[in-house]
Structure 1
């Protein structure tokens, strides 16, 4: 089975799915099996894109909730008071985590942010633009995947933590027992990750080679650190966080199991939602998780071509990291390829179908 997976990765590189790939299968206490293909080593770092949402922002939210600093039911109106427009005041931390705030999916805020030099000024402008963005639905009415919601959540958590977002996330990861975790790679200062260890992304207008910089324009405009994107990591680091998540479900972590339960269960309060408070669940046989993903699996995708799927009960998981956007954003071959890889990966982890 492992030989078939390696051949599948090699074929994917040859067919132009992505120039670099790492696949990591995890089971229980074992370190797992890592395979690489193309311009990647097993320990290559990738732009984790929207995996930032569960691996950084959501975990920080649960950390602050467990400490009583910012409860999940706290609303923007309660935290920010009158500066919050009336339509945004009912939005809770839980709404933002579950993509149920009513905020739209995306806006090119970077076009305005890039006109300001100071990071603090950009934070203030981003907060103002987010708070003044019209809602597409009342809070809690429906789930719409929203980068904007997690941008706002990142700002909210940063203020509550009282330190920079990247510092707060690193502290949360340390509290979970990780000494080597995915990290942000901020622009404008000494890079914490050597370029030689990072798979490049790009190109974009004005950014012909994106190497060691977050690919997402809004996150890049925020100095590479935002609630929705910006994290970089190797597969073993992602697996270590997945293992920490699995331990949380069994009450083996630093936070009570009941506090983190919403991370692993679909948001029942929002009609039609398939999302948890930070993760997603498979939707039918065409799910990116693979048609044979076990019941109870949760995970997330990232725009750069990355994905993670975790089965907490059996402590198994699959991480696929690629840099498919290095061949252009229109390169969408990752979709069917990812399903095929995941199907074979779950078989290797014991699923029979």
Structure 2
């Protein structure tokens, strides 16, 4: 067996060991110095028809070009948009966000939103609070969420904060968030398969069984996250879909210093430890540094983010690695075991190949 074939077999064996127990579909890419050293795709994009595990009649296979709900990896795209706006002087990291969103506590700044130290609650089920409201009314209510925890720290992961950050991007960028992501990231990098609200395309992986949503079967082609869905499918914390190759290209841009979407000094600030206390990892602007859930080694300098649907992007400049794992571990229900171990195994394989 050639060395290349052995590498492919190693990654594929890891994924096949997790499918369908952890997820029904998985795609992974490992790039060393920008070249794909290992790639694998396995499983079925739609395996189940309901929460009871009834097998679907049509079960298309996962492929390298399959499209997955990125969940909280969307936060990295929101962050890059905001940092690009900061480069243009449209917003500053430490100015009160109330300059753009009247009524906000003046202690809330973009830096605090991106480091989860603004004192905001982790989540808010605005769909349940305002069941008959439209997305604009729900967003307005989200922006009125009061501070309930200490401002400045300790770290408290907050989707609410990232929703506010997404709105700041819209107000300072003069366009909806999906258009800002397109014009400032995906069009620039040529990410043709990355975007919000893809619809039920044949290449899209299904997520959770949600009987309250319109349409038969499990959710497919619309955002899994309830709050992002209630806000119309586009939000600062969730909503993006992408292929593994597109996400790899995005990660490589960050690994190499940001060009052509950000300046090197912006990326340096993004991946600098911002001093947020109380987390199991160090935190940059929108990114986690040395997150043991991703790398298994708390002191590691790799950075990135994970997503609730079972996705992750890991960038390790010291080892010249970019690692993508896309899964639908919430299909057909959330709470399945093993995604952390799968992330560790893929990261371990990447370190072996570096």
The TM-score range, normalised by the shorter chain, is: 0.7 to 0.9
CA distance in 2, matches of 1:178, 1:302: 23
Q: Give the equivalent residue in structure 1 for 2:196.
A: 184
> Residue in 1 aligned with 2:168?
156
Query: How far off is 1:272 after superposition?
Result: 4.0
Change in 2 beyond 3 A, CA 1:275/1:315: same
Match of 2:10 among 4, 22, 36: 4
Structure-2 change in CA distance of 1:205 and 1:137 (3 Å) = farther
Give 1:290 shift: 3.0
- 1:29 equivalent to 2:42? Answer no
Which of 127, 149, 160 does residue 136 from structure 1 map onto?
149
After superposition, give the CA deviation of every residue in 1:241-275 in whole Å (9 maximum; x if it has no partner).
Answer: 011112226xx44543223322112212x334521
Query: Which whole-Å CA distance do the structure 2 matches of 1:124 and 1:71 have between them?
Result: 27
Whole-angstrom distance in 2 between the partners of 1:244 and 1:10: 29
1:22/1:235 contact within 8 Å kept = yes
**Which residue in the other structure is 1:332 paired with?**
337
C-alpha deviations, 1:132-174, integer Å up to 9, x for none?
3342222x12211111110111111111111111001111115
1:224 equivalenced with 2:246 (yes/no): no
Contact 2:313 2:324 in 1 (8 A): yes
Q: 1:239 to 1:133 in 2, by over 3 A?
A: same
Match of 2:348 among 319, 343, 352: 343
> Compared with structure 1, are the counterparts of its residues 128 and 47 closer, same or farther at alpha carbon in structure 2 (3 Å cutoff)?
same
Structure 1 unmatched ranges of 5 or more? 186-190
CA distance in 2, matches of 1:43, 1:201: 17
Distance 1:324 1:177, change over 3 A: closer
Tell me, yes or no, if structure 1 residue 241 matches structure 2 residue 250: yes
Q: Is 1:202 the counterpart of 2:224 in the alignment? A: no
Aligned residue pairs, count: 326
Consecutive unaligned residues in structure 2, runs of 5 or more: 1-6, 45-61
> Does structure 1 residue 278 correspond to structure 2 residue 286?
yes
TM-fit CA distance, 1:94: 0.8
Q: Distance in 2 between matches of 1:6 and 1:294?
A: 28
Residue in 1 that maps onto 2:58: none
| Inter-CA distance 150–94: structure 2 relative to 1 (3 Å threshold) | same
Partner of 2:89: 68
Q: 1:6 to 1:125 in 2, by over 3 A?
A: closer
Change in CA separation of 1:195 and 1:254 when aligned onto 2, cut-off 3 Å? closer
Instruction: Output the CA distance in 2 between the equivalents of 1:294 and 1:195.
Output: 40
Q: Which residue matches 1:188?
A: none
**Could you tell me how far 1:194 is from its partner in structure 2?**
5.5
2:75 and 2:286 in contact (8 A); partners too: yes
Q: Does structure 2 retain, via aligned residues, the 8 Å contact 1:176–1:244?
A: no
- SS of equivalent residue, structure 1 residue 248: coil
Query: Secondary structure, in 3 states, of the residue corresponding to 2:150?
Result: coil
Aligned ranges 1:49-60 → 2 under 5 Å: 49-54=71-76, 56-60=77-81
- 1:182 and 1:24 map into 2 onto residues whose CA distance is 16
Contact 1:173 1:181 in 2 (8 A): no
Q: Distance in 1 between matches of 2:270 and 2:193?
A: 19
Q: Is the Cα–Cα contact under 8 Å of residues 243 and 315 in structure 1 kept in the other structure?
A: no
1:260 to 258, 262, 267: 267
- Which residue among 57, 70, 82 is the counterpart of 1:48? 70
Distance 2:63 2:188 in 1: 26
Name the CA shift for 1:311/1:80 in 2 (closer, same or farther; >3 Å).
same
Q: CA RMSD in A?
A: 2.1
Cα distance per residue 1:95-151 (max 9 Å; x no partner): 11111111111121122344124xxxx33432333323342222x122111111101
